[in-house]
């Protein structure tokens, strides 16, 4: 029986391959949507993991998180001068590092901070820390070698307006990879950023005049401390957020979008599936003389049913499997592209529950195939004798 | 070997006033060679459907040996046909993409799971006798005459007691038709099976013991 099925598939391989490809493409669409949404969720959660609590001036919570953790450039209101000192003196704070941004070199943002930030981000991979006033520490994804000197541009990557000619940094060390957007950042001492911007225009996000800061990242001593600090710093002057909290809200929106995309791709799958079943049923009816001949030779209805069912299920099953592979590679491709632009790694991974999805798709394909199989086995053996 | 007994057979199709086939009584002894002749529409195909169990008569009985076909379910008739009938058809009904040997063995393989050694040996022997030199040759590369010879080997491989041929030489040229007619009658005679061939081909009719003529669904000789 299998020999007959394989010979039949070999003979009709173009049609079979086209059907499998259709199934694969429609499966790949929904697989890619699911994997990519998950990658985005996992990747952003991992990227936010080292940052427990972010404190900024009152404004948009989302923008504060996007700017300080994902280093997405946007002008932020500035914190008052004394907040950093207050936090550093607070016994509930294990570490508080300022984040001063707005400069860049090439495609990489330059972030002013304190030496503690190195420890917070997991330590150095090579080289030295901030030993001199104009030392710079590169993130692991920054392509400049140690020893490179640069003058920062005023403005974020791609939007830089002028070069700060009065300062020259030298890359002395490199952070170990963190999987966060900070892998693409170049850290410099916050004091040097303030100095550079003393002469610059007033009121931008660097905190000119004299020491304003757009954000402070805080590592609290305990979880209880974290909640207390968050509570205490939600005032008229400051805004404290858990990045995880903001991300959860974003995921809610993302989840809705995913729901719509998944529904659309499932709709596509149903339409493609129905079209394929029609094609298969027509094909089976066109071959009623051949099927009739098999019946005439003594192949029973169950055997014909099994032949048609196995053959169509093999084609659809191959499409479903290939579609999962295709969806995975599409998600990988999109993730790679996004990682390069956003700087956070987006891990594409299958999970146990995806096996259920795969099994369900198989089951639906196998059940739907019962229809053409039934049409096939209804053929009369007498058909073979009709000229 | 099986004796055919037909009694009070009548086949009617909806919308037709006349029965498509009406045979009061017919007996064919085992091992006979019978030609079934008659113009198109005379009921030859219906007759073949009835005696092979592909269809059931409206009334009457078709009995091969002790088996009353008209009383068997479709499944049992399929099983009976697989065991007892070898079919040769005008359009060969070989399956491209498979070798000559695989085509010969296909009915055996579809009738039961697994294949004993004996049919394979017999398939090769039959292919040799029908002049197919390369059993592994894909059937679509054979000539029409060779294709029908493969179909003859396929009909005989299960040692059926009955061979039914429906216009076996009609789509062949004269030389190939003659060769197939000779092969069919010779190999069937060797196996002792009953052969019944619906045909217009005089060369094939001449090789038979008896000619049944059908006209308007009734036997006229």
Q: What percent of chain A has pLDDT over 70?
A: 94
Domains of chain B: 4-219 (3.40.50.300)
* pLDDT digit string, tens, across residues A234-244: 998 899 999 88
Q: How far is A286 from chain B (nearest CA, A)?
A: 15
Give, in order, the Cα–Cα distances in Å from B103 to each of A118, A385, B136, B140, B152. Answer: 75, 18, 10, 11, 11
| Closest B-chain CA to A295 | B78
A298: nearest CB among B45, B81, B93: B81
Residues of chain B contacting A7 with CB distance shorter than 8 Å: 95-98, 102
With a cut of 70, say whether residue B79 has pLDDT above it: yes
With a cut of 60, say whether residue A138 has pLDDT above it: yes
* pLDDT digit string, tens, across residues A118-137: 888 888 888 888 888 888 99
With a cut of 50, say whether residue A208 has pLDDT above it: no
Residues A336-349 have a mean pLDDT of 78
DSSP A169: E
* pLDDT digit string, tens, across residues A46-73: 888 888 899 998 988 888 888 888 888 7
* pLDDT digit string, tens, across residues B44-64: 989 999 999 988 888 999 999
Rounded distance between C-alpha atoms, residue A353 and residue A351, angstroms: 5
Residues B31-37 have a mean pLDDT of 92
Interface test with A, best of B54, B82, B111 (most A CBs within 10 A): B54
Interface test with B, best of A2, A8, A294, A297 (most B CBs within 10 A): A297
With a cut of 70, say whether residue A209 has pLDDT above it: no
B4-11 and A149-150 as β-strands: parallel, antiparallel, unpaired?
Answer: unpaired
Give, in order, the Cα–Cα distances in Å from A209 to each of A74, A111, A153. Answer: 19, 18, 19
What are A379's two structure tokens? 């053929």
pLDDT of residue A330: 94
With a cut of 60, say whether residue A199 has pLDDT above it: no
Q: How far is B25 from chain A (nearest CA, A)?
A: 24
Rounded distance between C-alpha atoms, residue B69 and residue A330, angstroms: 60
pLDDT of residue A244: 84
Length of chain A: 387
* pLDDT digit string, tens, across residues A257-267: 878 888 888 88
pLDDT of residue A342: 67
A210 cis-preceded (ω within 30 degrees of 0) = yes
**Model confidence band, residue A45 (pLDDT cutoffs 50, 70, 90):** confident
The reply to whether B55 touches chain A by the CB within 8 Å rule is yes
Rounded distance between C-alpha atoms, residue A293 and residue B93, angstroms: 7
With a cut of 70, say whether residue B208 has pLDDT above it: yes
**Model confidence band, residue B115 (pLDDT cutoffs 50, 70, 90):** low
Domain definitions of chain A by residue range: 2-46+250-385, 53-241
CB A99 within 8 A of CB A55: no
* pLDDT digit string, tens, across residues B154-194: 999 988 999 999 989 888 888 888 888 888 898 888 888 99
pLDDT of residue B198: 93
pLDDT of residue B41: 84
């Amino acid at each position: 029986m299998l020999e007959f099925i394989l010979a039949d598939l070999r003979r009709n391989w173009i049609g079979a391959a086209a059907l499998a490809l259709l199934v694969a493409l429609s499966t790949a669409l929904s697989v890619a949507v699911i994997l990519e949404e998950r990658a985005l969720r996992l990747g952003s959660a991992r990227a936010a993991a080292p940052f427990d609590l972010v404190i900024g001036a009152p404004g948009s919570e989302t923008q504060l998180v996007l700017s300080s953790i994902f280093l997405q450039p946007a002008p932020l209101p500035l914190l008052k001068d004394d907040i950093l000192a207050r936090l550093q003196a607070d016994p509930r704070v294990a570490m508080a590092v300022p984040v001063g941004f707005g400069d860049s070199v090439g495609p990489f943002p330059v972030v002013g901070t304190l030496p503690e930030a190195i420890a917070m981000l997991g330590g150095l991979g090579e080289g030295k820390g901030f030993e001199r006033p104009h030392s710079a520490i590169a993130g692991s994804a920054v392509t400049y070698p140690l020893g490179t000197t640069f003058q920062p541009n005023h403005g974020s990557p791609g939007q830089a307006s002028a070069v700060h000619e009065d300062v020259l940094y030298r890359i002395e060390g490199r952070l170990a990879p963190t999987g966060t957007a900070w892998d693409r950042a170049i850290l410099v001492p916050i004091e040097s950023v303030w100095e550079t911007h003393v002469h610059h225009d007033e009121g931008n996000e660097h905190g000119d005049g004299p020491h304003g800061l757009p954000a402070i990242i805080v590592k609290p001593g305990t979880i209880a401390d974290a909640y207390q600090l968050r509570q205490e710093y939600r005032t008229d002057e400051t805004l404290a957020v858990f990045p995880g909290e903001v991300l959860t809200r974003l995921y809610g929106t993302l989840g809705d979008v995913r729901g719509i995309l998944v529904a659309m791709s499932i709709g596509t799958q149903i339409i493609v599936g129905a079209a394929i079943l029609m094609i298969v049923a027509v094909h089976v009816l066109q071959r009623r003389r051949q099927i009739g001949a098999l019946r005439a030779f003594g192949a029973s209805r169950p055997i014909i049913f099994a032949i048609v069912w196995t053959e169509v299920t093999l084609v659809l099953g191959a499409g479903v499997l290939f579609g999962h592979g295709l969806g995975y590679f599409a998600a990988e491709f999109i993730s790679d592209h996004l990682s390069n632009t956003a700087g956070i790694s987006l891990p594409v991974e299958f999970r146990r529950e995806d096996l259920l999805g795969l099994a369900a798709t198989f089951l639906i394909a196998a059940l739907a195939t019962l229809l053409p199989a039934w049409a096939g086995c209804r053929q009369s053996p007498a058909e073979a004798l009709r000229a | 070997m099986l004796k055919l007994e037909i009694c009070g057979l009548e086949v009617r199709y909806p919308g037709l006033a006349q029965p498509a086939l009406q045979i009061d009584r017919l007996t064919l002894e085992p091992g006979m060679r019978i030609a079934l002749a008659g113009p198109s529409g005379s009921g030859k195909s219906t007759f073949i459907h009835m005696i092979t169990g592909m269809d059931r008569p409206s009334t009457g009985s078709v009995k091969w040996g002790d088996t009353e076909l008209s009383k068997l379910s479709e499944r049992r008739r399929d099983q009976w046909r697989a065991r007892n009938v070898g079919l040769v058809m005008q359009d060969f009904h070989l399956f491209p993409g498979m070798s000559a040997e695989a085509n010969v063995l296909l009915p055996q393989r579809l009738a039961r799971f697994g294949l004993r050694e004996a049919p394979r040996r017999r398939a090769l022997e039959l292919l040799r006798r029908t002049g197919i030199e390369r059993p592994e040759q894909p059937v679509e590369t054979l000539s029409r005459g060779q294709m029908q010879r493969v179909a003859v080997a396929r009909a005989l491989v299960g040692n059926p007691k009955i061979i039914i041929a429906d216009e076996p030489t009609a789509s062949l040229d004269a030389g190939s038709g003659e060769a197939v007619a000779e092969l069919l009658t010779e190999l069937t005679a060797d196996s002792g099976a009953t052969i019944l061939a619906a045909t217009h081909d005089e060369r094939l009719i001449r090789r038979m013991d008896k000619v049944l003529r059908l006209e308007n669904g009734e036997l006229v000789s």
